[in-house]
Amino acid sequence: MKFNKPIDIEILQEALEYFDSIPEKIQIKFLKSFDKTKDGLRGSWFKNLGNDVWEFRERDHQKFYRLLAFWDKTGNTETLIVTTHGFDKKTNKTPKKQIDKALRIKQDYFKNKGI
């Protein structure tokens, strides 16, 4: 599946702080997932959680790592995937409070953008 506009990924400050705190091996996995997504590929590394919240997913032998995100399709030249924040996960289900947090960040993002 290819998109009409190129895709880029914007990492908000809280997501960047999380990204910087995780092991380098996992950072590399996320960067590869970002590249595949920018190329328009879809896979298990990027999952729709509903409510227009998406999750970049990586793991190692100890835990699951997540970066939540949403789409910003308002640009004329590109579509952005905006990562809101990250967290470590111990179970298969994403906690509702993490989804709610992503939705609040998304709302603030578009409000600050004037949309």
* Residue-level pLDDT at 56: 96
- Distances 70 to 6, 24, 32, 62, 63 between C-alpha atoms, Å: 16, 24, 18, 27, 23
Q: Is residue 100 left, alpha or beta, with left meaning phi > 0 and alpha meaning psi from -120 to 50?
A: alpha
* Residue-level pLDDT at 3: 58
Low-confidence ranges of the chain (pLDDT < 70): 1-4
CB atoms within 10 A of CB 60: 12
* Residue-level pLDDT at 99: 96
The 3-class SS string of 39-99 reads: CCCCCCCEEEEECCEEEEEEECCCCEEEEEEEEECCCCCCEEEEEEEEEEECCCCCCHHHH
* Residue-level pLDDT at 114: 81
- Which candidate, 9, 5, 8, places its Cα nearest to that of 83? 9
Question: Domain 7-113 sits in which CATH superfamily?
Answer: RelE-like (3.30.2310.20)
pTM of the full structure: 0.90
Domain boundaries, the chain: 7-113
Contacts of 61 by beta carbon, 8 Å cutoff, 6+ apart: none
